[in-house]
Amino acid sequence: MGIETKSISIEKVKTSRIDQIDFNNLAFGSVFTDHMLVCDYKNGAWELPKIVPYQNISLDPSSKIFHYGQSIFEGMKAYKDKNDAIFLFRPLDNHKRFNISANRMCIPEIPEDYFMDGLTTLLKLDSAFIPTNAGSSLYIRPFMFASGKGFHASPADEYKFIIACAPSGAYFAGEVKVLIEQTYSRSANGGVGFAKAGGNYAGQFYPTQLAIAKGYNQVIWTDDTEHEYIEEAGAMNIFVRINDTLITGPTSDRILDGITRKSIIEIAKKEGIPVEVRKITVTEVVNAAKAGTLKEMFGAGTAAVISPISAFGFKDTDYALPKLDTPYAQRIKKIITDIQYNKSDDPYGWRYKVTN
């Protein structure tokens, strides 16, 4: 069912700015489509969503978003096939996770129809912005934050739900070299690490900048007690391949339950790739690297898709990963992207057609 699309009011831009976008030189998430979806939560209820020209948001200086980090987001992509049909990938899972994040951050849940009807209406309106060049896609950013006022450290009484979209190129340019973190941590047991809460990301900036200064692109987070268990990267879950087995850590209250991650696990099973979901220790990864049994490491996430890791650093030593002819990363990435761009069958039922 869903809210009737006609109840989403639409105010169109007078002049599109699509001509200002260079689709052959897209950075990640830095130019935006003509419109955005906005929905306000007031007096204990969501008002009807509306689509308006992409524009500034005006907020009282005491809005709690500025003070208490009460915000969540999602990251999705829209894809076009050769007939210009529009597809999403497991979007209902993003909606579910959005509400899981909302609950942990004391933000009201957004109903499924507001999310899905709002999103598909927006995509149809701005469909010309969905890139078709290989490696590019339309990155979709649903987000929700505390707009309610006051300096009391307690949940706000008003919220804004917004969806904005950015035609985007690759998240990483070139090889990805990671540093296994031994000092800083991303999240606490019993904390908010499993939620896509704003504060989880700002907390990573400083340690990540330190790693970048040393020549790495990303930090691999470890547990905050011993720094001995591999957890995840900035915006990616992590897979390692030891001999022929693909391994990824279990999710927990410290780790985001990634949609790419769980898709990879299913694909690997179906492809007959031995796959294990279990704790991975830093010691075992370093030992496997030394013994030559560590064949691959890659990150998995909507923004970065599957990003092969070329080397990892641990305690002042760098360990290079071998260059394989047909790595799992490449094989699985092709299967996923072929489903996303409607280039193959979808035995999993993950592709979601945005119909007209």
Ligand X SMILES: Cc1ncc(COP(=O)(O)O)c(C=O)c1O
Give me Rg for the CA atoms of the chain.
21
Segment 123 to 162, residues that bind its own copies, using CB under 8 A:
139, 141, 143, 145-146, 149-155, 162
Segment 9 to 28, residues that bind ligand X, using CB under 6 A:
none
Q: x-or-dash pattern for ligand X, window 64-103, by CB under 6 A?
A: -----------x----------------------------
Q: x-or-dash pattern for ligand X, window 234-263, by CB under 6 A?
A: -xxx------------------x-xxxx--
DSSP codes joined into one string, 169-228: --SS-S-EEEEE-SS--S--TTSSTTS-BHHHHHHHHHHHHHHHHTT-SEEEEE-TTTS-
By beta-carbon proximity to its own copies, the closer residue of 111 and 191 is 191
By beta-carbon proximity to ligand X, the closer residue of 51 and 255 is 255
Kindly give the pairing relationship between strand 237-242 and strand 137-146: unpaired
Q: State the Cα–Cα distance between residues 216 and 208, nearest whole angstrom.
A: 9
Q: State the Cα–Cα distance between residues 102 and 354, nearest whole angstrom.
A: 25
Q: What is the DSSP letter of 128?
A: G
The end-to-end CA distance of the chain, in Å, is 15
Segment 189 to 248, residues that bind its own copies, using CB under 8 A:
189-192, 197-206, 208-209, 224-225, 227, 234-235
Q: State the Cα–Cα distance between residues 311 and 345, nearest whole angstrom.
A: 34
Three-state DSSP at 248 gives strand
Q: Smallest gap, in angstroms, from Cβ of residue 82 to its own copies?
A: 27
Residue 267 contacts ligand X per CB under 6 A: no
Amino acid at 254: R
Q: x-or-dash pattern for ligand X, window 203-232, by CB under 6 A?
A: -----------------------------x
Which of these ranges, 25-33, 266-274, 307-315, 327-335, lies near its own copies under the rule CB under 8 A? 25-33
Q: Which residues bind ligand X (CB under 6 A)?
A: 75, 196, 232, 235-237, 256, 258-261, 300-302
